[in-house]
């Protein structure tokens, strides 16, 4: 953190020095006293602000990060708040070891000494192992079942539609779409081409 502050501070000083130099050249200021005063202010101000920040930050007490892995998200946030830390959901990931909406990992890790008010990032179990759907478009319906099984999916509803440009029995659409994330073992519905006009049922009152 201190290194980052010093880098920003150095860059700030370089930019200000260049601006003041250009100002002197353009305006041809006769007295250097004003320039020196401006430089002192710009140099000292960030340093003073940084000093105040470091004094404030170092004055904050430290606490030990509790272990909230394997806890429900609301419970984890409460445990962190009890020691003046803030829990934040950082993302979702599938982990078979824990139930859905349970914390599977945390950063910083348990046992670390951190300042009060620190944000603890929590990864939450999504509860479903989602994988990309295979691309079945253009494949024969006779092979779709084996392709689905190899990709850890199941065949869903199969509908037929007349398509003049595709061979009969060819998959022309699917849901979920190719590459779309879907739970492993779920169904994929297929729309298959046919050379015969498909009659749709109409319901009347």
Greater confidence, 26 or 67? 67
- Assess contact for 20 and 43: CB atoms under 8 A: no
Q: What would the two tokens of residue 13 be? A: 């000083």
Cα gap 133→180, rounded to integer Å: 5
How confident is the model at residue 203, as a pLDDT? Answer: 46
Q: What would the two tokens of residue 118 be? A: 């620190």
Residues of the chain with CATH 3.30.10.20: 62-125, 131-194
Average pLDDT, the chain: 82
Q: What would the two tokens of residue 170 be? A: 């060819």
Greater confidence, 106 or 11? 106
Cα gap 176→14, rounded to integer Å: 55
- Assess contact for 169 and 140: CB atoms under 8 A: yes
Cα gap 93→91, rounded to integer Å: 7
How confident is the model at residue 205, as a pLDDT? Answer: 43
Cα dihedral sign for 88, 92, 95, 96?
positive
- Assess contact for 184 and 131: CB atoms under 8 A: yes
Indicate whether 26 pLDDT > 70. no
CATH (residue range 131-194): 3.30.10.20
pLDDT in tens, 77-125: 999 999 999 999 999 888 888 898 999 999 999 999 999 999 999 999 9
How confident is the model at residue 204, as a pLDDT? Answer: 47
| CATH fold of the domain at 62-125 | Trypsin Inhibitor V; Chain A (3.30.10)
Residue tagged 């020691």 (tokens): 83
Indicate whether 173 pLDDT > 80. yes
Looking at the DSSP bridge assignments, the partners of residue 102 are: 72
pLDDT band at 135 (very low <50, low <70, confident <90, very high): very high
Mean pLDDT of 118-140: 92
pTM attached to this predicted model: 0.49
């Amino acid at each position: 953190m201190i290194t980052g502050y010093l880098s920003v501070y150095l860059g700030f000083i370089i930019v200000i020095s260049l601006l003041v130099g250009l100002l002197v050249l353009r305006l041809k200021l006769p007295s250097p006293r004003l320039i020196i005063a401006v430089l002192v202010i710009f140099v000292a101000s960030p340093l003073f602000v940084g000093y105040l920040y470091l004094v404030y930050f170092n004055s904050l007490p430290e606490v030990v990060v509790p272990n909230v892995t394997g806890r429900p998200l609301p419970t984890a946030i409460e445990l962190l708040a009890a020691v003046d830390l803030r829990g934040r959901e950082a993302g979702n990931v599938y982990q078979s070891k824990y139930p859905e909406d349970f914390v599977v990992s945390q950063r910083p890790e348990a046992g670390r000494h951190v300042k009060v008010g620190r944000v603890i990032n929590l990864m939450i179990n999504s509860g479903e192992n989602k994988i990309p759907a295979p691309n079945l478009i253009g494949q024969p319906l006779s092979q779709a079942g084996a392709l689905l099984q190899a990709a850890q999916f199941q065949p869903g509803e199969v509908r037929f539609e007349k398509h003049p440009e595709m061979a009969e029995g060819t998959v022309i659409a699917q849901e979920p779409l190719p590459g779309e994330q879907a739970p492993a073992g779920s169904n994929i519905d297929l729309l298959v081409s046919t050379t015969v006009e498909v009659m749709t049922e109409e319901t009347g009152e």
